Amino acid sequence: MLILAGLGNPGPRFAGNRHNVGCMAVDQIARRWGFGPERSRFQGLAREGVIETPQGAIKALILKPQTYYNDSGNAVGEALKFYKLSPADLVVFHDEIDLAPGRFRMKAGGGAAGNNGIRSITGQVGPDFRRARLGVGHPGHKDLVQGHVLSDFHKVEQAWLNDLLLACADAAPLLAAGEDEKYQAEVMRLAPAEKADTRQLRQDRETP
Protein backbone atom coordinates (compact mmCIF):
# COMPACT_ATOMS: atom_id res chain seq x y z
CA MET A 1 0.00 0.00 0.00
CA LEU A 2 1.06 3.57 -0.72
CA ILE A 3 0.26 6.89 0.89
CA LEU A 4 0.25 9.76 -1.58
CA ALA A 5 0.31 12.99 0.42
CA GLY A 6 -0.33 16.33 -1.24
CA LEU A 7 0.88 19.35 0.69
CA GLY A 8 -1.00 22.63 0.91
CA ASN A 9 -3.08 24.84 3.18
CA PRO A 10 -6.75 24.11 3.93
CA GLY A 11 -9.75 26.03 2.70
CA PRO A 12 -10.84 27.88 -0.46
CA ARG A 13 -8.68 30.91 0.31
CA PHE A 14 -5.51 28.92 -0.44
CA ALA A 15 -6.85 26.45 -3.01
CA GLY A 16 -5.25 28.12 -6.05
CA ASN A 17 -1.92 28.97 -4.40
CA ARG A 18 1.41 27.68 -5.70
CA HIS A 19 1.91 26.23 -2.20
CA ASN A 20 -1.11 23.98 -2.88
CA VAL A 21 0.13 22.39 -6.08
CA GLY A 22 0.79 19.15 -4.17
CA CYS A 23 -2.90 18.98 -3.28
CA MET A 24 -3.79 19.66 -6.90
CA ALA A 25 -1.60 16.78 -8.06
CA VAL A 26 -3.06 14.16 -5.74
CA ASP A 27 -6.60 15.37 -6.51
CA GLN A 28 -5.88 14.76 -10.19
CA ILE A 29 -4.55 11.27 -9.42
CA ALA A 30 -7.73 10.53 -7.46
CA ARG A 31 -9.91 11.64 -10.37
CA ARG A 32 -7.88 9.75 -12.97
CA TRP A 33 -7.97 6.47 -11.07
CA GLY A 34 -11.49 6.67 -9.67
CA PHE A 35 -10.68 6.88 -5.98
CA GLY A 36 -13.49 6.81 -3.46
CA PRO A 37 -15.12 9.83 -1.82
CA GLU A 38 -13.13 12.21 0.32
CA ARG A 39 -13.56 12.00 4.08
CA SER A 40 -11.91 13.39 7.19
CA ARG A 41 -9.15 11.13 8.52
CA PHE A 42 -5.70 11.54 10.06
CA GLN A 43 -6.08 15.31 10.57
CA GLY A 44 -6.62 15.55 6.83
CA LEU A 45 -8.87 14.70 3.90
CA ALA A 46 -8.36 11.17 2.63
CA ARG A 47 -9.50 9.07 -0.33
CA GLU A 48 -8.88 5.37 -0.91
CA GLY A 49 -8.43 3.62 -4.21
CA VAL A 50 -6.20 1.50 -6.41
CA ILE A 51 -3.77 2.27 -9.20
CA GLU A 52 -3.45 -0.37 -11.87
CA THR A 53 0.10 -1.46 -12.76
CA PRO A 54 1.46 -4.24 -14.99
CA GLN A 55 2.16 -6.14 -11.76
CA GLY A 56 -1.42 -5.75 -10.54
CA ALA A 57 -3.49 -3.25 -8.61
CA ILE A 58 -1.73 -1.25 -5.89
CA LYS A 59 -3.85 0.06 -3.04
CA ALA A 60 -3.28 3.71 -2.20
CA LEU A 61 -4.46 6.34 0.22
CA ILE A 62 -4.48 9.94 -0.93
CA LEU A 63 -4.06 12.32 1.98
CA LYS A 64 -4.26 16.11 2.05
CA PRO A 65 -3.20 17.31 5.52
CA GLN A 66 -5.52 19.96 6.95
CA THR A 67 -3.03 21.01 9.62
CA TYR A 68 -1.62 23.88 7.54
CA TYR A 69 1.44 23.36 5.42
CA ASN A 70 4.11 23.76 8.08
CA ASP A 71 2.57 21.07 10.32
CA SER A 72 1.94 18.49 7.59
CA GLY A 73 3.94 15.87 9.49
CA ASN A 74 1.22 15.53 12.13
CA ALA A 75 -1.25 14.16 9.58
CA VAL A 76 1.23 12.16 7.52
CA GLY A 77 2.86 10.59 10.57
CA GLU A 78 -0.51 9.52 11.96
CA ALA A 79 -1.49 7.82 8.71
CA LEU A 80 1.84 6.04 8.31
CA LYS A 81 1.66 4.75 11.87
CA PHE A 82 -1.95 3.58 11.47
CA TYR A 83 -1.14 1.46 8.42
CA LYS A 84 2.22 0.32 9.83
CA LEU A 85 4.00 1.50 6.67
CA SER A 86 7.62 2.47 6.14
CA PRO A 87 8.82 5.83 4.76
CA ALA A 88 9.43 4.10 1.41
CA ASP A 89 5.65 3.65 1.16
CA LEU A 90 5.10 7.41 1.38
CA VAL A 91 5.22 9.81 -1.58
CA VAL A 92 4.87 13.50 -0.78
CA PHE A 93 3.84 15.84 -3.61
CA HIS A 94 4.94 19.42 -2.94
CA ASP A 95 5.87 22.71 -4.57
CA GLU A 96 9.56 23.31 -5.27
CA ILE A 97 10.86 26.86 -5.72
CA ASP A 98 14.28 25.64 -6.83
CA LEU A 99 12.82 24.10 -9.98
CA ALA A 100 11.64 26.18 -12.91
CA PRO A 101 7.86 26.37 -13.42
CA GLY A 102 6.53 23.12 -14.84
CA ARG A 103 9.64 21.06 -14.12
CA PHE A 104 9.29 17.84 -12.13
CA ARG A 105 11.76 15.83 -10.11
CA MET A 106 11.53 12.74 -7.91
CA LYS A 107 13.81 12.43 -4.90
CA ALA A 108 14.14 9.93 -2.06
CA GLY A 109 15.51 11.08 1.27
CA GLY A 110 17.65 14.12 1.91
CA GLY A 111 17.12 17.40 3.70
CA ALA A 112 14.22 19.82 3.73
CA ALA A 113 15.98 22.59 1.75
CA GLY A 114 14.01 25.22 3.62
CA ASN A 115 10.61 23.60 3.03
CA ASN A 116 8.82 23.62 6.38
CA GLY A 117 6.26 21.01 5.32
CA ILE A 118 9.02 18.57 4.40
CA ARG A 119 10.82 19.43 7.64
CA SER A 120 7.65 18.65 9.62
CA ILE A 121 7.22 15.27 7.92
CA THR A 122 10.88 14.43 8.47
CA GLY A 123 10.42 15.16 12.16
CA GLN A 124 7.62 12.61 12.33
CA VAL A 125 8.77 9.77 10.04
CA GLY A 126 12.45 10.44 9.29
CA PRO A 127 13.94 11.65 6.00
CA ASP A 128 13.71 8.49 3.89
CA PHE A 129 10.37 9.10 2.20
CA ARG A 130 9.86 9.80 -1.50
CA ARG A 131 9.29 13.35 -2.74
CA ALA A 132 7.51 14.39 -5.94
CA ARG A 133 8.76 17.95 -6.49
CA LEU A 134 6.65 20.21 -8.69
CA GLY A 135 8.50 23.29 -9.91
CA VAL A 136 6.84 26.66 -9.26
CA GLY A 137 9.90 28.85 -9.82
CA HIS A 138 11.66 31.32 -7.56
CA PRO A 139 10.60 34.99 -7.33
CA GLY A 140 14.22 36.15 -7.43
CA HIS A 141 14.87 37.12 -3.80
CA LYS A 142 14.37 35.24 -0.54
CA ASP A 143 12.23 38.05 0.89
CA LEU A 144 9.68 37.46 -1.88
CA VAL A 145 9.34 33.69 -1.43
CA GLN A 146 6.43 33.69 1.02
CA GLY A 147 4.34 36.00 -1.11
CA HIS A 148 5.20 33.96 -4.19
CA VAL A 149 4.14 30.56 -2.86
CA LEU A 150 1.04 32.00 -1.17
CA SER A 151 -0.19 33.61 -4.38
CA ASP A 152 -2.31 31.95 -7.05
CA PHE A 153 -0.99 30.68 -10.34
CA HIS A 154 -1.43 33.26 -13.09
CA LYS A 155 -3.81 32.60 -15.96
CA VAL A 156 -0.86 32.34 -18.35
CA GLU A 157 0.50 29.48 -16.22
CA GLN A 158 -2.64 27.36 -16.39
CA ALA A 159 -1.66 25.53 -19.59
CA TRP A 160 1.62 24.10 -18.27
CA LEU A 161 0.08 23.53 -14.82
CA ASN A 162 -2.80 21.48 -16.21
CA ASP A 163 -0.43 19.49 -18.41
CA LEU A 164 1.82 18.74 -15.43
CA LEU A 165 -1.05 17.63 -13.19
CA LEU A 166 -2.49 15.37 -15.88
CA ALA A 167 0.94 13.87 -16.51
CA CYS A 168 1.43 13.11 -12.81
CA ALA A 169 -1.88 11.24 -12.87
CA ASP A 170 -1.45 9.42 -16.18
CA ALA A 171 2.04 8.17 -15.23
CA ALA A 172 0.97 7.06 -11.75
CA PRO A 173 1.31 3.30 -12.47
CA LEU A 174 5.09 3.79 -12.63
CA LEU A 175 5.02 5.57 -9.26
CA ALA A 176 2.86 2.86 -7.71
CA ALA A 177 5.26 0.20 -9.01
CA GLY A 178 8.18 1.95 -7.29
CA GLU A 179 9.77 3.07 -10.57
CA ASP A 180 10.50 6.63 -9.49
CA GLU A 181 13.08 7.41 -12.19
CA LYS A 182 10.78 6.13 -14.91
CA TYR A 183 7.89 8.05 -13.37
CA GLN A 184 9.90 11.27 -13.48
CA ALA A 185 10.89 10.66 -17.09
CA GLU A 186 7.33 9.88 -18.15
CA VAL A 187 5.87 12.93 -16.43
CA MET A 188 8.38 15.16 -18.20
CA ARG A 189 7.78 13.40 -21.51
CA LEU A 190 4.05 14.02 -21.20
CA ALA A 191 4.49 17.59 -19.92
CA PRO A 192 7.81 18.97 -21.18
CA ALA A 193 8.98 22.26 -19.67
CA GLU A 194 11.98 24.53 -19.65
CA LYS A 195 15.07 22.93 -18.11
CA ALA A 196 16.32 26.03 -16.29
CA ASP A 197 17.15 25.45 -12.62
CA THR A 198 15.97 28.50 -10.71
CA ARG A 199 18.71 28.19 -8.12
CA GLN A 200 21.07 29.50 -10.82
CA LEU A 201 18.53 32.11 -11.85
CA ARG A 202 18.27 33.24 -8.24
CA GLN A 203 22.05 33.49 -7.94
CA ASP A 204 22.14 35.57 -11.11
CA ARG A 205 19.51 37.97 -9.76
CA GLU A 206 21.20 38.35 -6.38
CA THR A 207 24.65 39.00 -7.85
CA PRO A 208 25.34 42.78 -7.67
Query: In angstroms, what is the C-alpha Rg of the chain?
Result: 16
pLDDT in tens, 125-174: 999 999 999 999 999 999 999 999 999 999 999 999 999 999 999 999 99
pLDDT in tens, 67-87: 999 999 999 999 999 999 999
Mean pLDDT, rounded, of the chain: 93
Q: Where are the domains of the chain?
A: 2-206
94 is catalytic: no
Name the 3-class secondary structure at 193.
coil
**Catalytic member of 19, 94, 138, 148:** 19
Question: How many whole angstroms separate alpha carbon 41 and alpha carbon 14?
Answer: 20
β strands within 70-192, DSSP E: 90-96, 104-108, 130-135
Q: Is the pLDDT of residue 201 over 70?
A: no
Q: Architecture of 2-206 per CATH?
A: 3-Layer(aba) Sandwich (3.40)
pLDDT in tens, 112-133: 988 999 999 999 999 999 999 9
